[in-house]
Amino acid sequence: MNESASLDPLVLIDHDIYGITGAVRITLNRPDAFNALSEALIDALQRSLDEVAGSDARVVVIAGAGRAFCAGHDLKEMRAKPSYEYYQDLFARCSQMMLTIQRMPQPVVARVHGVATAAGCQLVAMCDLAVAASTARFAVSGVNLGLFCSTPSVPLSRNLSRKVAFEMLVTGDYIDALTACERGLVNRVAAPEQLDDAIRALVASISEKPRAAIAAGKRLFYRQLEAGIDTAYQLAGDTMARNMLDDAALEGTEAFIQKRPPRWEET
């Protein structure tokens, strides 16, 4: 199965992409607007993430239709409603959507082409992993319009070093894909015509692993990052102890001892 299915044309959902069972692609579908995050698109993406999070999906890819990944918020829409209450609500809803990516059990991979600017760059930073076309460009460019990219600064400063992140935020300058990779914003860079091959390889590798171990590991990864080192070790030790009692871990360790491939029964 690899058919787009969505009740809202602003977001397309494809299942079993690349012929990999459990691999799901969520595509932002406002190509004429460079997939700018309008209110409707934020809400549609939230619903799609919630739907996939509660499914048996193993890996999620977020992509953009057309010539760009995502050009940030829809500034025309924002400018038409100049009130503090409106802006506060908009950014709260967008932040909740971004946090859903981190909190869902499946690893989420950003498929980046064209530009990823402002909240679009934030979306890349919030994804667990990112693969970019060599021609992709990244910026948190709100400062060029007199608007400091405050919400994008949250995941950006957790992916890049502080000084590198701050430089991007106060200059608004673009960086290319290779620089983004060197700085830790993306994991891999591929030629545009090989972008899906690179993503397929990453998705396939993740999909081969036990779903329960990946979900527990992702949850622990982010919890310990925000904790002090003593608490982090306590959380990690508890997660490891529970993980060791899972059927998948018991089979995996037994297979290692017997020098054979593990026979996980998960689909």
Of residues 264 and 126, the one with the higher pLDDT is 126
Q: What is the mean pLDDT of the chain?
A: 91
Q: Which CATH code for domain 11-207? A: 3.90.226.10
Domain boundaries, the chain: 11-207, 211-257
Q: Which CATH code for domain 211-257? A: 1.10.12.10
3-state secondary structure (DSSP) of residue 26: strand
pLDDT tens digits, residue range 224-249? 988 888 887 887 777 877 876 778 77
pLDDT above 90: residue 182: yes
pLDDT for residue 4: 52
Residues belonging to the chain:
267
Q: What is the mean pLDDT of residues 88-111?
A: 95
DSSP 59: E
Rounded distance between C-alpha atoms, residue 195 and residue 180, angstroms: 16
pLDDT for residue 181: 98
Any idea which residue has 């490891």 for tokens? 240
- Residues whose CB is less than 8 angstroms from the CB of residue 54 and which lie 6 or more positions away in sequence, other chains included: none
Rounded distance between C-alpha atoms, residue 122 and residue 25, angstroms: 19
Structure tokens given for 89 = 């609500």
**Model confidence band, residue 265 (pLDDT cutoffs 50, 70, 90):** low
